[in-house]
Amino acid sequence: MVTPPTVAPEADERFGKYRILQRLAVGGMAHIFLATLDGPDGFSKACVIKRILPEYANLEPFSRMFADEAKVAALLTHPNIVQVFDFGKIDGQYYLAMEWIQGQSLDRIMRHAAAASMPLGLRVTVDVGLAMSDALTYAHAKTLSDGTPLKLVHRDITPGNVLVSRDGIVKLADFGIVKSSVNLERTVAGVVKGKYAYMSPEQITNRELDHRSDLYSLGIVLYEASTGRRLFKRDTMEATIVAASQGDVPPPSQVSPGFPPDLERILLRLLAKDPDARYPNARELHDDLERFRGTQHWTSGGRELATLMATLFPPDAKGRVATAVAVPGSMPGSSSQGSTRTPTGISHLADLPPQERGAPGESSARVVTGVMARGTDTGATGLVAPPEQVVGAESFPWGLAAAAGAAAVGSALFWLFVA
């Protein structure tokens, strides 16, 4: 394991049975820490602690949301899902203890690859698709202890929530806004949660969702990873909402000449506007991707991803690995009315200006899922915490949405998430 970066460690602070090593991220209502769980004879296990600040722990909506996330996460044990292994309350502070993953989000990998004029390649895209479809197959089929279907819908499948370790292991993060039978009765009517550019048409128009909405969102992720082009991201938040609501998808072969027809068929089926025209479940998607990989005579495993990680994020002159710490989960933060406008005409990831590539001061009109540490092109380590936006009646563009067939949603709320 690579030694964690040393960034202002808390002076041997104890938090119950955990020893705090450093604070990774700060939000308006919760903090994220790198910690260890120590035992006898030198035993020590690194983990990530997310804890709500004491002043918010007694506010029912936040403690309830935190508890719901813990309940869902505790049910999920899969090699391609970030593990949450502890939940509790110490000195008035609710906390989650989660698996620590040293790596990068797919979002940052894509940006660095584009800036280096190094396409990810179809093999990497297929590897990510196989890992995510396997994770979703498991999560969508999960049941409660009495056999009751969990009916889980992640609702936030985005490149920022796909974490890749330096060993090439792919994991799905952040079940903070998940919809399931655990919290279904607590879902606020008229509130849309997620990142606009990765929502299915039914999600962005606040219609009833099922697991096929996650497959659509995964289709957007794989489309962008394989072509290097944004699908629905536009120069304004309103235009992005309209584009996602309309769901018009140019075939990948129009964007990337020579795109394999079989993979194009898979992506277009994932991105069908009508849920009934998509894959009925993630297992069938996984099987289809496996068949495609077989026709290409590609071997299984994460070697391609591990090689890509080592190439894009190499050690510095002193041999230290210039990688970010990717931390799963989401948490409530201070409200924000701001949004970031992507410059007009930007459609390719390599065209993004510095502030859109993870430079200092980055912000974005997205719901953040994993806390992903970011650095400048010199390899310096930092953290990014873009704001989440929950669409409501006051913020939703009624005229544009009507033209796109989008439905009106509830009152305007904006939450800042880090995780």
In this prediction, residue 52 has a pLDDT band, given cuts at 50, 70 and 90, of confident
Please tell me whether residues 181 and 276 are part of one structural domain: yes
Residue 216: which residues within 8 A CB-CB, separation 6 or more?
200, 201, 270, 271, 272, 275, 278
Same domain, 122 and 56: no
What CA–CA distance (Å, rounded) separates 172 from 198? Answer: 15
> Which of 79, 101, 123 is where one domain is finished?
101
Examine residue 266 and state whether it is found in any structural domain, yes or no.
Answer: yes
pLDDT band at 136 (very low <50, low <70, confident <90, very high): very high
Both tokens assigned to 65: 């949301």
Alpha-carbon distances of 350 from 109, 271, 355, rounded to whole Å? 12, 24, 12
Q: Is the pLDDT assigned to residue 409 strictly greater than 50?
A: no
Handedness of CA 320, 160, 150, 147 (dihedral sign): negative
Task: Read off the pLDDT band of 293 (50, 70, 90).
Answer: very high
pLDDT at residue 398, rounded to an integer: 42
- Is the confidence at residue 161, as pLDDT, over 80? yes
**Are 56 and 178 found together in one domain?**
no
Same domain assignment for residues 202 and 86? no
Predicted pLDDT of residue 245:
93
Least confident of 50-64, 177-191, 211-225, 254-268: 177-191
Stronger pLDDT, 361 or 331, i.e. the higher one: 331
Is the pLDDT score of 9 beyond 70? no
The arrangement of strands across the sheet holding 84-90 comes to 13-15, 18-26, 30-38, 44-52, 93-98, 84-90
Among 343, 109, 379, CA closest to 233: 343
Q: Which entry of 107, 134, 156, 288 is annotated as an active-site residue?
A: 156
Mean pLDDT of the chain: 73
Give the span between the Cα atoms of 36 and 19, in whole angstroms: 5
Q: At 331, is the pLDDT very low, low, confident or very high (cuts 50, 70, 90)? A: very low
Instruction: Tell me, yes or no, whether 276 and 178 share the same domain.
Output: yes
pLDDT digits (tens, 9 = 90+) for 266-290: 999 999 999 999 999 999 999 999 9
258 and 388 co-located in one domain: yes
Residue 62 and residue 195 share a domain: no
- Domain-ending residue, one of 101, 129, 155: 101
Burial tier of 135 (Cβ tally within 10 Å: 0-12, 13-18, 19+):
buried
Let me know if residue 3 belongs to a domain. no
Tell me, what amino acid is at 35? Answer: A
Least confident of 23-27, 76-80, 353-357, 413-417: 413-417
Q: What is the average pLDDT across 162-176?
A: 86
Q: Which residue has the higher pLDDT, 3 or 108?
A: 108
Q: How many structural domains are present in the chain?
A: 2
CATH number at residue 173: 1.10.510.10
With a CB cutoff of 8 Å and minimum separation 6, the contacts of 147 are none
Entry pTM = 0.73
The whole-number pLDDT of residue 130 equals 97
- Side-chain half-sphere CA neighbours of 212 within 13 A: 17
Find the domain containing 378 and state its range: 102-416
3-state SS, residue 257: coil
Judge if 92 and 111 occupy the same domain.
Answer: no
Question: pLDDT: is 8 or 410 the higher one?
Answer: 8
Which range in 43-47, 64-68, 122-126 is most confidently predicted, on average pLDDT?
A: 122-126
Look up 351 and say whether it is catalytic. Answer: no
pLDDT of residue 314: 86
102 pLDDT band, cuts 50/70/90, is: confident
- For residues 350 and 380, membership in a common domain is answered with yes
204 and 286 housed in the same domain: yes
Q: pLDDT tens for residues 245-259?
A: 999 999 999 999 999
**Which of 101, 122, 153 lies at the terminal end of a domain, its last residue?**
101
CATH number of residue 69's parent domain: 3.30.200.20
What tens digit of pLDDT does each residue of 83-94 get?
888 888 888 788
Q: 348 and 227, same structural domain?
A: yes
pLDDT tens digits for 201-248? Answer: 999 888 888 999 999 999 999 999 999 999 999 999 999 999 999 999
Judged against a pLDDT cut of 60, whether residue 361 lies above it is answered with no
